[in-house]
Amino acid sequence: MHVLSSVSDDLAIARHRAKLVGSQIATKFPALPSTSSPSPRALRVRKPTLPENGSSPCLDGPAPSTLAPDSLALSLSLAARVMARVHAGQSLTQALAILGKTEPAARAAAQDVVYGSLRRYGCGEFILRRLLQRSLPHPEVQALLLGALYRLQTRPESGYMVVDQAVAAASELAGGGFKGLVNGVLRNYLRQREVLHAAMLDDDEAAQQHPGWWLARLRRCYPESWQNIVAVGNLPPPMTLRVNRRRATLTDYATRLQNAGLSARTAGGDALILAKPVSVDALPGFVDGLVSIQDFGAQRAVHLLAPLDGQRVLDACAAPGGKTGHLLEMADIQLLALDIDGNRTRRIEDNLQRLGLQAKVRVADCRATDQWWDGRPFESILVDVPCSASGVARRHPDIKYLRRESDIRRFARIQTEILDKLWPLLKPGGKLLYATCSVFPEENGAQIDAFLFRQPTARRLDEERLLPQEEHDGFYYALLRKAV
């Protein structure tokens, strides 16, 4: 599902290496436009869009800080730098890379601010439109204010302490020239908090914490359930484990968790959902491959495809490798895993090494079959296509800011190309599982209906629509068989 990587195996490994604390990772956000002194009512937030070429302005990473390493000021300062990079067009994962050498505790605290701020899409922006007399010229200061507003909303009893820490953070941003503005804006918020929050209820984007175009689509497609989809998308996700059945049983690993003081419940298949997220360092046997971190909905893919021993299998869009590992845990197969991104392909290899599994991994565009296919058909194909990732926004809150409505059509065209290119590679009688982490029908059922119309040898065996719920993210699966 070629999206910003989530709390899946690649993220878990990165966290283990950095010895991070906590389960969230973060980052992104829009800044106010730099126009000349419009009225507060006219002032609008510029929503960043997904760059066609992934480019973004160069922003400096964190400089050596004089702030206390365990201070809220440091976490706000770091979070502001991360979020400003996302505003410039970077993904959350890319932006977080600037914290790579930060101490684990400070990094975790900054990530908490970023994730919390981004999940509350539109809330901070709504407040700033009413408190600022003109636009801010510096994106890091805009980001600092949004992060501080998030913390003020989650720690209302510590209001003036948060303001003081935000002012301290402002001393390290934009040459320290906005300390007075930060102080004034945040103190005005504290004085007007009740009025501002009451007014926010009349602003659709701020009240629902989703972009307007996204809300319109959800209301149209899911008139009975859109509110639940939105509500779930604004919450922190659960931490779900997938037990490696080659190295442990579900019961045995649940006992190991209990002995480590961790509470979990079964969710079906190989899944255990922790009562509360923890560092991967706290998971018994994680580094030895006993368990992986993967959403329960994502685990459904391999159970639906159900590969058999000895089969030749293609994982066409494999990074970061969660489903790749699950395929190999399920059966003794000959697996080829492809991904177009070399950096993400290395994460597949890292995951397989940790799990003690082997597959042929290649950097390739799965559509360019003449460059990688050896002419031998596959008996099973998993195609986890690039998509809008609208079903996993709670894990990747930057999606709310980076995604554009026009991206849906762009992703649909890519999905069509992938299906048409890979279908000839499937052996007659073989199965192909089409997977997305989207809730939008254009990428899901409508895509498969169109494919079945133009491909007479395809038959739909099964279909699952998993809308985002407390226990799992949003996914779509269609299992197809090629006629003999």
Q: Please give the annotated binding residues for S-adenosyl-L-methionine, written as ranges.
A: 317-323, 339, 365, 384
437 among known catalytic residues: yes
To which H or E segment does residue 482 belong? strand 475-482
Alpha helices (H) in 120-203, listed in sequence order: 123-131, 139-154, 159-170, 179-200
Which residues line the annotated binding site? 317-323, 339, 365, 384
Query: 1 and 383 in contact (C-beta within 8 Å)?
Result: no
DSSP annotation of 425 reads: G
To which H or E segment does residue 15 belong? helix 9-18
User: Going by C-beta distance under 8 Å and a sequence separation of 6 or more, which residues neighbour residue 451?
Assistant: 416, 419, 420, 458, 480
Question: How many CB atoms are located within 10 Å of the residue 343 CB?
Answer: 12
What whole-number distance in Å separates Cα of residue 54 and Cα of residue 343? 15
Whose tokens are 């600037």? That residue is 98
Question: How many CB atoms are located within 10 Å of the residue 418 CB?
Answer: 19
Displacement of CA 322 from its chain's centroid (Å): 14
* Nearest in space to 340 (alpha carbons), one of 304, 374, 367: 367
Peptide bond into 456 cis (omega under 30): no
Q: Which of 123, 366, 387, 437 is catalytic?
A: 437
Alpha carbon of 216 to those of 2, 210, 213, 435: distances in Å?
25, 10, 5, 24
Q: Active-site residues: which are they?
A: 437
